[in-house]
Amino acid sequence: MVIRFIKKMTAFLKKIFSIFFIIALSNSNVFAEPTHVDSYGIGSQEATITGIAFNPDGTKMFIIGIGGDEVNEYSLSVGFDLSSTVTALRTLDVSGQEIEPQEIVFNSDGTVIFVLGTAGDTIDSWSLSTAYNLSGVHATNDHIATTALGGNPRGMRFNSDGTKMFILENVNNNVEEYALSTAYDPATKSSSSTNYSVLDSGAHLQGMAFSSGGTKMFIVSSDDDDIHEYNLSTGFDVSTASYVGNYDVSYAGNKQTAGIAFSSDGSKMFHGDFHTDVQAIKEYTLSCYYGVVNCIDPTSDKDDVASIEAQTDAAKKLIQHTTYPILNRMEWLRRNTDNGNLTNQN
């Protein structure tokens, strides 16, 4: 009797664990359109925003544009939350190198900042003595290098380890993928690139981003004020890209979208708007991991899989801590069914 009960209880717990895993997996893949939750006006610092970047915890925000030709640094009292206290801190004037800056990117530890521009069709880089902090950075003395590109570039990204560089160019409407022999060093880019046409995204391309695992790519277009989404069957390999669809930004009024960024966990999206009526950064919540047009396949990205595994592991430990003492006691009773005194102390 006791043995049968133990077997039934074990089978029941296994079913509970399996159901929890399925629910966790499916919940990470439930899609609803992005929800616009907040805006932060930046017109007094930059009237024509073209690029956005954050530090990993979202407590620093950086914007750039062709109005001031400078990088603007802000602090956020709550990471990736524009409704928290946002404070304009300082600027880095890049006009000596680029008068039409389009994009900001950092290396992996935030000690180098890259600025992409269309006046010279180049990438310029500066060293930062403190990660994600423009304090004390000298536009001339801390300038590292200039790398020529061509092609009217509008967006720039690295893969997760900096061994690949991606350039969104607005002449042929391509995303160009380069191998870097030295991580995060554009000067070491390969002589040829893999090109992927993004004509599906329209004619006026204004920004680019990837999901953390590189299995999704996003292109911002200001001619239709849409964010266009692509799937990559192999992360950070544009030759495997396919067009998914577009999201029409949801807030009312005139729009001129530019730049795009995501929170580190893919649960929030940000883009700029340089229309004269707006001049702001827009914040959205996403119903699922990088869910702009559809949800990312949770088994295709190691970060999402790790999140699900962490949830299921926590549930497993809870089940163990709750039920194992009972099962152990029942097993002890089974072994001592012929003993008249069934206490641990006998």
pTM, entire model:
0.79
**3-state SS of the chain?**
CHHHHHHHHHHHHHHHHHHHHHHHHHHCCCCCCCEEEEEEECCCCCCCEEEEEECCCCCEEEEEECCCCEEEEEEECCCCCCCCCEEEEEEEECCCCCCCEEEEEECCCCCEEEEEECCCCEEEEEECCECCECCCCCCCCCEEEEEECCCCEEEEEECCCCCEEEEEECCCCEEEEEEECCCCCHHHECCCCEEEECHHHCCCEEEEEECCCCCEEEEEECCCCEEEEEEECCCCCHHHEEEEEEEECCCCCCCCEEEEEECCCCCEEEEEECCCCCCEEEEEECCCCCCCCCCCCCCCCHHHHHHHHHHHHHHHHHHHHHHHHHHHHHHHHHHCCCCCCCCCCC
The answer, yes or no, to whether residue 320 has pLDDT greater than 90, is: no
Q: What is the pLDDT of residues 190-242, one digit of tens each?
A: 999 999 999 999 889 999 999 999 999 999 998 889 999 999 999 999 999 99
pLDDT by residue (tens digit) across 137-167? 999 999 999 999 988 999 999 999 999 999 9
- The more confident residue out of 179 and 320 is 179
Of the chain, the percentage scoring pLDDT greater than 70 comes to 77
Please write the tens of the pLDDT for every residue from 71-109.
999 999 999 999 999 999 999 999 999 999 999 999 999
**Residue 49 confidence class, pLDDT cut points 50, 70, 90:** very high
* Chain mean pLDDT for the chain: 87
